[in-house]
Amino acid sequence: MRRPLHLIALLAMVCSLFVAACGSEEEEPATGGNKTAEETPAKEAIKVGLVTDIGGLNDRSFNQLANEGLERAKAELGVETRVLISKANSDYVPNLSTLAQQQYDLVIGVGFLMADAMNTVAPKFPNTNFAIIDVDATTMKAKPTNVSGALFKENEAGYLVGYMAGLYLKDEGGGTASSVGGQKIPPVDAYIAGYQAGVQAANPEAKVVNGYSQKFDDPAPCKELALDHIAQGAKVVFQVAGGCGLGALDAAKEKGVQGIGVDADQAYLGDQIMTSALKKVDVAVYDEIKAVQDGSFKGGDNRLFDVKSGGVGIGETNEVGAKYADQIKAEQDKIASGELTDIPNTVQ
């Protein structure tokens, strides 16, 4: 019934495949060695690794901006780059440590969600430089001396877009200003707190409504939240949820209300984008890389990005938003000059 010859022939084929695979595996180190030998003497290129948070690389805001900064450094500073995308919270530690293990000169963690992992990994690799966006390096539990934190005053950017939203609501004769957050974490809340303060400052009668989707990647829950807010009378929707927030801006488009983008300039999403609250993560990433290259990198300390330094601000406006450009400029100057300082950081 069974034909042993066929069996043997097949087994032999399978075996030969494995042997072939192993054989060439043996040769690989040789070619690998040649490659690095050719590259290293060319220039003193430092190696920079970037670890995204679970928002993924194509969130069109936070992580994507970080990657743009990295790409710019690659083009202008000639650094060697690698990006590791995190799919789950448990990816942060191995992603950071793998890059450190492979002797990258600078490892950048993008986002507050990575604070714990950075706190674990950085002390293990004292000779590697680390940078982390949105985390205060001076308050990290392990007090690592090789981590530089990049902090943004999101509340200032939030205030400016909120002020614009408030002015718009005034002209519309009332209405609600909505904000759709991802997870309730400090950078998200700083935006929202600033936004609400801005709305109230421009138009004390305006109402605010706020919700969290608990997600940064999937657009569906943010869209649902935004539609809900619009049904409650929201005429402006501010998204603070990375890739998830794209759903909120989509809802604004669908219902013909104003949308406000976050982190990156999201004016390209359509006419409904009144403006965007900018957070120049790309500048922060670029600056950190440059610092490592020219030797001015300082661990255990923070870099601060605010309206004054141009690290946060306001993006392109649509026709509606353009009407308020002068008033917004005035507020911006007030913040930069230090006249306006008490913008809240946390949502009540």
Partner 1 sequence: MSAPPDSELPPNITVASRMATFFRGGGILAPLITILVAFLAGGLVVLATGHNPIETYQAIFKGSGFNWFFPWLSEDDRIIAALNLQQTLILTTPLILTGLAVAFAFRCGLFNIGGQGQYILGSIFAVWVGSSFDGMPALLHVLVAMLAGVLAGAVWAGIAGLLKALAGTNEVISTIMLNWIAIWTGVWIFNLGSPLQNDNPDQVDVPVSNDIVEGAKLPVFWGDPQLQGLHIGIFIALAALVVFWVLLNRTTLGYEVRAVGFNPDAAEASGINVRRNYVMVMAICGAFAGLGGALDLLGWQFRIATNDIQTHTLAFFGIAVALLGRNTAIGTLLGALLFAGLLTGTSVRNLDPTVFEPQLATNLTYMIQGLVVLLISTDVLVVYLLRRRRRK
Nearest to partner 1 of 193, 202 (CB atom): 193
Name the 3-class secondary structure at 323: coil
Among 3, 28, 43, 204, binds partner 1 (CB under 8 A): 28
Nearest approach, Cβ of 329 to partner 1 (angstroms)? 33
The size of the interface with partner 1 (CB under 8 A), counted in residues, is 41
x/- map, 271-300, partner 1, by CB under 8 A: ------------------------------
CA distance 70 to 240: 23
HSE (CB half, 13 Å, CA atoms) of 66? Answer: 30
Question: Which helix or strand (DSSP H or E) is residue 272 part of?
Answer: none
Is 29 a residue that touches partner 1 (CB under 8 A)? Answer: yes
Among 45, 68, 77, 185, binds partner 1 (CB under 8 A): 185
List strands edge to edge, sheet with 47-51: 80-84, 47-51, 106-109, 129-133, 147-152, 301-305
Name the 3-class secondary structure at 118: helix
Interacting stretch for partner 1, rule CB under 8 A, among 149-157, 171-179, 212-220, 248-256? 212-220
Among 63, 67, 95, 196, binds partner 1 (CB under 8 A): 95
**Which amino acid does the sequence have at 197?**
A
Is 107 a residue that touches partner 1 (CB under 8 A)? Answer: no
Nearest to partner 1 of 22, 231 (CB atom): 22
Look up residue 15 and give its two tokens: 């075996």
CB within 8 Å of 272: residues ≥ 6 apart: 249, 252, 253, 256, 257, 258, 259, 318
Return residues touching partner 1 (CB under 8 A). Answer: 1, 7, 10, 14, 17, 21-22, 24-26, 28-29, 54, 82-85, 87-90, 93-95, 97-99, 101-102, 113, 120-121, 124, 183-186, 189, 212, 214-215
